[in-house]
Chains A and B, each alone.
Chain A
């Protein structure tokens, strides 16, 4: 256990160094969600007049969705890094070292989680400046970053599966972009459940995004809704287990 932690820690540190070394990449990864935060909160601002919309403002409603969008964006970049490592020979370097195979993937997962958490914090800070209020205060924001990190891991696993199966960075990126918006719009991310058409509301109930967004939304708007948090942890954690198992399988197959 300590050995795995030590090994994946070294690889985590590498990812962190790479991340801060190209600040432009971080900036642009955040730029799109921030633009959405600004635009959506303006365009849809009058939604709060609709009967059934029970939040103080659309901004209050939107912040968790943007946190989820940001995490999705960076999660779908995870696989691209995997392809780059294969192409550049870095993966060979890791495989030739006397470390556990699982440490390679774990280091990446930890890095993805850290990145999602950091980006969630930035989104929260910007929305604070825009006038959003957090019902659960600083502990709530901390809980949000943890949930965002778990959410990031879950979807980064999927990105790595695609990357390891196709070994094509562009394809991995395109599939990621293609998935992002449908999964967000087929959830309660942009419209409360009660205002969704019936079929979509049904679809949203089977969409893991709905659960994370609802838990985050409670933290922002109403308080510690333990049922929502437990559901989010269960669904997102379950998804993370599934995608990580899939990524591990794809990884083992790729390096065999």
Chain B
């Protein structure tokens, strides 16, 4: 039985916004399942439905076989959730925040203390255990929030954009920790808008765009599905749209998977044995009198996968997400 099962989930907000439009997927025990998509794709809505904070419009969601709408309490006992917006009490110390969460999850005081101390050590917050969370840096708050989601030892951990706003070094450290958690048996469901993060962490991922799952699979399989390595032609700065179109047409002759992707002054196709066919490509471009600034062969990326299946490139926005007040508890 799948640990998380989502069937035909639809969420329409009052006002008619279809944030999630009929998605289905499963997450098996032991996976690191990545939900990759741009801002506004429906990632947070999906996660909030699964963690029992939001009622779905229709569809069925179950965690460990338990319906999240009909029977939310046992679901809450099995999960930990760290939201995109960090929820720590600034007036309480790191230790007090953790102990409170542990107690709310039913741990006895002594057990809550012990677990909190353990987590503070693991998350390298032990030196600031007695300091008010309000004095913490972004990275420290993020770690504390993660600790809060873990204090009761959940079977599955939900992380909504866990590394947004973190510096690269902290981000990598967090990835390392999440892998370690996973190796100890914790299933992880994470949303991200970073291709690199999905690639590095997820054992399997679903690409979501505009409320719909475009495709799912392991990162390697998704990339393999493109049919080979990428050949990219980049034209000089003065090249017009016609020249780009012409280059794309030429490239399509070498494509195993149909149309070339067209960008601003560049085009890309995927083909098996791309490197060995490069000479042919050069000759063909030359024959069509296409002026080339750069020609390269590269391994396909998740960005390519995203483009192939959604028709647009992944847009990463570091802008501030919408206010929590508007996000919070939108009705059925």
Contacts and interface: CB of A to CB of B under 8 A. Distances in A.
Interface of A: 7, 10-11, 13-14, 17-18, 21-22, 86-99, 167, 253-256
A105 to B, nearest CB: 15
A92 B87 contact: yes
A41 B77 CA distance: 56
B332 A89 contact: no
A102 to B, nearest CB: 13
Given A89-B83, A92-B83, A14 B100 contact: yes
Contact of B91 (A7, A18, A253): A18
25 contacts: A10-B100, A10-B103, A10-B104, A14-B89, A14-B96, A14-B100, A18-B89, A21-B91, A21-B132, A86-B328, A87-B325, A88-B88, A88-B90, A92-B83, A94-B104, A95-B52, A96-B76, A96-B81, A97-B76, A97-B104, A98-B73, A98-B105, A98-B106, A256-B331, A256-B332
Given A86-B324, A89-B85, A7 B104 contact: yes
A22 B134 CA distance: 12
Q: Which among A11, A88, A92, A256 has the highest number of chain B CB atoms within 10 Å?
A: A92
B325 A167 contact: yes
B321 interface: no
Report, nearest first, the 6 A-B pairs whose CB atoms are least far apart. A89-B87, A97-B104, A98-B76, A18-B91, A93-B87, A10-B103
Given A89-B85, A89-B324, A96 B52 contact: yes
Nearest to B77: A98
B81 to A, nearest CB: 5
Contact of B329 (A13, A94, A98, A256): A256
B53 interface: yes
Contacts of B86: 89
Contacts of A98: 73-74, 76-77, 104-106
Given A7-B104, A256-B329, 9 more contacts: A17-B91, A18-B92, A88-B324, A89-B324, A93-B87, A97-B101, A98-B77, A98-B106, A167-B325
A88 B91 CA distance: 12
Interface string B42-83: 000000000111010000000000000000011011010101
Contact of A93 (B91, B101, B329): B101
B148 interface: yes
Given A10-B104, A95-B53, A97-B76, A90 B87 contact: yes
Contacts of A96: 51-53, 76, 79, 81
Contacts of A7: 104
Nearest to B74: A98
A91 B53 CA distance: 11
Nearest to B90: A88
A136 B181 CA distance: 63
A93 B110 CA distance: 21
Given A14-B89, A17-B96, A98-B106, A253 B331 contact: yes
Contacts of A18: 89, 91-92
Contact of B87 (A10, A22, A88): A88
Q: Which among B91, B92, B104 has the highest number of chain A CB atoms within 10 Å?
A: B104
A150 B287 CA distance: 90
A254 B103 CA distance: 24
Nearest to A91: B328
A82 B254 CA distance: 62
Contacts of A14: 89, 92, 96, 100
Q: Which among B51, B87, B325 has the highest number of chain A CB atoms within 10 Å?
A: B87
Given A89-B87, A256-B332, A17 B92 contact: yes
